[in-house]
Structure 1
Amino acid sequence: MQRVPGLLWPLVLSVALLPVASWFAYPETHLPPGFGVFPPLFVADPPGFKPVIFVVLALIETAIVLLLLFPQCFGFIMTASPPRADPARFPVWFRPGAALTLFFWWLMWIRVTPFDSLAYYAFTPLWWGFILTLDGLVYRRSGGYSLLASRPGTLLTSAAVSLAGWCYFEYLNYFALGNWYYPNSTMPELSHGAVVLIYLFAYTTVWPAVFEWYTLLNTFPSLVCRYSCGPRIALPGGLLLWGGFFLLFAMVFFPYPLFWTVWIGPLAIFSGQLLRKGIWNPFTALAQGNWSPALLMALSALFNGFFWELWNWGSAYPAQPVANPNYWMYAIPYVNAIHIFAEMPLLGYMGYMPFGILAWALFIWLGALFGFDAALLKDDADRR
C-alpha cells in the first residue's frame, strides 16, 4: 500500500478539538473532571434510567437484529455460496493457545492459587492465548490460511495499532466523563508504574482479537454471501468527516446525551476521510451493495465483546484478596439496565458493532498513512 497524503490532519484535529471545546465548556478548570488520571477512575454518577430513551434505542437495535436475521426482508438477494475449503490440521500454536486461555481464565477468576500475584497479570496472556486459539480455528477451517500463518506482520502491526488506538479512545473517554472506568487500578500491592505497564500490554489485544473473529467468520461462505448482495448506499465522505468533528466538539458540552459519540464520531471522521481519498473501506463496499465486510466486522466485535464482558465479570466475583487490576465498570447514562455479566447493560452490547467497524477503519487509515498493507483476508475479498 502506498502512502496517501492528507490523512494526518483529521487525527490531529480530532485530538486538538476536544481541549479547545473544554476551554469553554469548563470555564474554571478548562478541562473535564478526572482528566489525565491514568488509568481513568470514576468521575460522577451519570443521569439515571430514562424509559423513553431506552425504548427508542431498543427499537433501533431490534431493527438491526432483524436485518441480521432476515436480510431478505430488507432488500438483500440470497445467493448461492461457494464450497468451503478443505480443512487443514490444527496448527502447532492452537493447543498451546487453548491451554494459555484456560489456565489464565482459571487464574483470573479463582485468584487464590499457589501462583499468588501472577493473577495480577492474567488479562494479557489470557487474551493472547485466546487470539492464538481463534487463529488456529481459522487456519483449520480455511485450509491453511490465518493471520499468524500467512500475515504475521499484519497481526503484529494490529497489536501496535491496538495499543495506540485504545489510548486514543481512553483520551476521548475523558471528555465523555467516563463511559467506563477502572476501580481496581489503584492497588497498594502494585506501583503505579506497574499498573500502567499492565494496561498498556492489555491494550495490544483488542484489534488482534477482533480481526481474528473477522477472519473466522469469513470461513463460513454462506455467512459471507448472506450479506453480499444488498441495497447500495453511498455515504458522503465530506458530510461524515465534518459531522464527526461536530459530534466530538458537541460531546464536550453535552457528554451525557452524546455519550455514544466516543465511537460514532471517530468512525465518521476516519471513514469519511477514507471515502474522500478514494481508499477502500467497509463503506466503499456498502456503496457497491456488499454489506458483508461491514456487518461481519461488526459481528466480530460483538462476539468478542461477549468474552470481554464474561471474563471481566468473573474477575470481580467472588471477591478475593488478589484482584484483577484490568477490571472495568460502566457509567452509561439513560440505558444502564438489564445487565448481562453484571456490568454491561443489554443495549450496550450493540455498541460493539460500530466499534468493530471503527477499529477496522482506523487500521486501514493508518495503513494508508504509513504505507503498510491492511488486508486481512487471503484473497483480499474485503477490498473488493
Structure 2
Amino acid sequence: MRWSLFVLLLAGLPLLGIIAAGRDPAPYLEMPPTTRYVSHAGFSWPWFCFFVLADLLLIGGLLWAIHHGRQNKREATKRPDLPRALKMATTTAGFQHPRRFPWWGWAGMALCLAFWLLAWKRFTWFWILQPHTFLPIWAGFILAVNALAVKRSGSCLVLRRPLRFLLLFPASAGFWGFFEYLNRFVQNWYYTGIEGMGPQEYSYYSSLAFATVLPGVLSMIDLLLTFPALGKGLARCRPYHLPSSRWIPVICLLAACFGLALIGIFPDQLFALLWVSPLIIVLSIQALAGRHTLLYPLRHGDWRPLVVPALAALACGFFWEMWNYFSLARWTYTIPFVQRFHLFEMPILGYGGYLPFGLACLVAGSLVIGDPFGWEDADHLNAVSAPGNR
C-alpha cells in the first residue's frame, strides 16, 4: 500500500501542476507519445556555461574521490591494525580469485555484435524485426559485462543472486517507464520509428527495451568495483558527516516535490529536475523513516555507493547513445539552452544527467534485490575499525 501511495505521489505531482495551471492533461497521457507540444528555447551561452560549471563540479568531485581513495588505499594496506575482514569486505564479488572468461560471456558478445550489425544495417529480409534490436543488443551486453566481472574477480551479480537478478528486468520496465512518463512534461527526447504502433504494441515492445536498464547499470557497477581504485580505494576515503537535523530531509522533500510539480509548467527552466527530484524524494523519505540512505556510508569514509553508480550510468549512457545513433527505432533530443556539440544524438552536456540517474538506479535496484554489493557489511566493519571505536 505504501509503495502504491509513493508511486502515485511521484506520478501525480507533474500532472497536478498541469491541471493547476489550467491546461488539458490529455496530451501528457498519450499512448504512444508522438505529439510534439513543448516548444523549447534555443541555445543560450549563459545557460550553457551554467551547465558546464555544474557538470565540471560533479565530474571534479568524482575524480577527487577516486584520487583520494587511491591514496588512502595505499596507506590502508600498510596498516597492521586494519582487520583482515575489512580488507576483504572492501573488494567486490565475494572473495574468489579471477577466472577465465566464461563461455556465456562469448555468447553474449556474439549476440551483442550480431544485433548491433542488424540494428545499423537495413537488410530487406530483416525489416519486420528491424525496430526491435534494442533488447538483444543489451541482453548480450549484460552477459558480456558480467562475464568480464567473473574474469576479473571470480564472481558477478548474475552468479551471486541469479533469481533476484531476474527480478530486475520487470522492475526495470516500470522504473524507466516512470522516467518516460516524466519526459512527457518536458519532452527532452522523442522517438522515431514507432509511427503506426498502437498503445498495446508500443507498451509491449517498449517494456522489453526498458527492462534492460537496471540490469545493465547494476552489472556495470559490479564490474567497476573490480578495479582497485573504485573498489578498495573508494571504501577508505575521508569520512564525511552529514548534518543530522531532521528538518533537512523535510525541506529537501518539499522542495523536490514542488519542483516536480512545476516541470510541466516551466519545462525549459526545470528540465534537469527530471533526474534529480525523484532521487531526492526517495532519499528524503528514507531518511525521515529512519532508514539508511546511500549517503550513510560517507560517515565511515565509504564513497563507493555515491561515485561508482554515477560512473556506471555514464558508461552505459555512452553505449545507449552509440547504439541508438543509426538504429531504425531511435530517440532524438530537444534539450533547451544546450542543444549543440553533440556526441551521437546527445548534446555533450546532456551526459551529466546520467550521473544522478546512476544513483537512482542503485536505489531502485537495492529495493528489488537488497544489498547487491555487500556494502552494508563493509560499512559495519568500517564503523568498527574507525579511530574513535578502536
The answer to which of 270-279 and 125-134 deviates more is: 270-279
Classify 1:72/1:162 alpha carbon distance in 2 versus 1 (closer, same or farther; 3 Å): closer
Asked whether the equivalents of residues 105 and 122 of structure 1 are also in contact (C-alpha less than 8 Å), the reply is yes
2:333 equivalent in structure 1: 330
Q: State the one-letter code of the partner of 1:339.
A: H
CA RMSD of aligned residues (A): 2.6
1:15 equivalent in structure 2: 11
Determine helix, strand or coil for the equivalent of 1:328: strand
1:97 equivalenced with 2:100 (yes/no): no
Q: Residues 1-384 of structure 1 correspond to what in structure 2 (within 5 A)? A: 8-25=4-21, 27-29=22-24, 31=25, 33-71=27-65, 78-80=72-74, 86-112=97-123, 114-143=125-154, 145-176=155-186, 178-187=187-196, 193-228=200-235, 229-234=237-242, 236-315=248-327, 324-325=328-329, 327-341=330-344, 343-364=345-366, 366-367=367-368, 373-377=369-373
Classify 1:239/1:183 alpha carbon distance in 2 versus 1 (closer, same or farther; 3 Å): same
Gaps of 5+ in 2: 78-86, 381-390
The structural deviation recorded for 1:181 is 0.9
Q: Per-residue CA shift, 1:84-107, capped at 9, x if unaligned? A: 753112233211111100000000
Q: Per-residue CA shift, 1:242-270, capped at 9, x if unaligned? A: 22211111223212100011111101011
* Distance across 1 between alignment mates of 2:378 and 2:342: 34
Asked whether the equivalents of residues 97 and 129 of structure 1 are also in contact (C-alpha less than 8 Å), the reply is yes
Percent identity of equivalent pairs: 32
Determine helix, strand or coil for the equivalent of 2:270: coil
Asked whether the equivalents of residues 45 and 331 of structure 1 are also in contact (C-alpha less than 8 Å), the reply is no
Classify 1:222/1:380 alpha carbon distance in 2 versus 1 (closer, same or farther; 3 Å): same
* Distance across 1 between alignment mates of 2:26 and 2:127: 38
Q: Which has the higher helix share?
A: 2
Classify 1:91/1:333 alpha carbon distance in 2 versus 1 (closer, same or farther; 3 Å): same
* Distance across 2 between alignment mates of 1:67 and 1:300: 15
* Distance across 2 between alignment mates of 1:258 and 1:139: 41
The structural deviation recorded for 1:382 is 7.3
* Distance across 2 between alignment mates of 1:347 and 1:271: 25
The TM-score normalised by the length of structure 1 is 0.85
* Distance across 2 between alignment mates of 1:95 and 1:73: 33
Classify 1:294/1:15 alpha carbon distance in 2 versus 1 (closer, same or farther; 3 Å): same
May I ask how many residue pairs the two structures share in their alignment? Answer: 358
* Distance across 2 between alignment mates of 1:140 and 1:377: 17
The structural deviation recorded for 1:154 is 2.2
Q: State the one-letter code of the partner of 1:175.
A: F
* Distance across 1 between alignment mates of 2:320 and 2:289: 34
Gaps of 5+ in 1: 316-323, 368-372
